[in-house]
Amino acid sequence: MQDKPEPSAAKMPYVLEFAKFLGIFIVMIGAALSLLHVIWVATQGNQTNASAAVAPAVSRGGH
Q: Which residue has the higher pLDDT, 47 or 7?
A: 47
pLDDT digits (tens, 9 = 90+) for 26-48: 999 999 999 999 999 999 887 65
Reported pTM: 0.51
Q: Which of 54, 36, 48 is nearest to 28 (CA)?
A: 36
Percentage of the chain surpassing pLDDT 90?
Answer: 44
Specify the DSSP class assigned to residue 3: T
Whole-number Å distance between alpha carbons of 15 and 1: 22
Whole-number Å distance between alpha carbons of 34 and 47: 20
